[in-house]
Structure 1
Amino acid sequence: MSAITRDEVAHLARLSRLALPEDELDRLAAQLDEILSAVAKVQEVAQGDIPPTSHALPLTNVHRADVALPGLSPDEALAGAPAVEDQRFRVPRILGEEE
């Protein structure tokens, strides 16, 4: 026997403001019945003596201190650039805009 009926699907569709064709009500009733059966199986397995977990293995967050380190000087940063202009990276123009 189906756990959810065609009329219940139609009622849920009305509550959700969904306009479902008649042939879709039967198909959705069968699909929702399968979903409810799967949830029932999971509920059988998940007994009260098993503590809830979010992951199968215990996880701990590893945090490190946020330490500011000195960066490259402009000359060091530009040393490997293929083209430099006015202490900046020179790149090819990609837009046809005039300066």
Structure 2
Amino acid sequence: MSLSREEVIHIAKLARLELSDNEIERYQQQLSSILEYADRLKELNTSQIPPTSSVLPARSRFRDDVPVESLPTDKLLKNAPQSEKDQFKVPPALEGPQ
């Protein structure tokens, strides 16, 4: 699948990128190569591969979900720059209307 120059310009516009003529030509070639490779991957027979297959053993992906005692609040807040009412106190992220 080969992308046209206009399609690359449209993609760049969606991504809010300003591309030079050289960049448009280079991206046209590169993106077309990527799409052609993806089309080749569609030809692979993956019917015998389970959707969650991995090269890692299953034990490395999961651990037992065991509840444990959490730290006491006073220890958690010990090194906090500021705290108030057993919570971290941080500056507001957004200032409201004055």
Q: What does residue 9 of structure 1 align with?
A: 8
In structure 2, the CA distance between the partners of 1:26 and 1:66, relative to structure 1 (3 Å rule), is same
Counterpart-to-counterpart distance in 2, 1:65 and 1:4: 52
Q: Larger C-alpha radius of gyration, 1 or 2?
A: 1
Give the TM-score taking structure 2 as reference length: 0.52
1:46 Cα deviation from its structure 2 partner: 4.5
* Secondary structure in structure 1 of the residue aligned to 2:30: helix
* Bigger Cα displacement from structure 2, 45-54 vs 57-66: 57-66
The 5 Å alignment of 1:8-47 reads: 8-47=7-46
**Displacement over 6 Å in runs of 4+:** 64-68
Task: Give the count of matched residue pairs.
Answer: 67
Instruction: Tell me how large the CA RMSD over aligned residues is.
Output: 2.7
Show structure 2 runs of 5+ residues with no match: 70-98
Gaps of 5+ in 1: 69-99
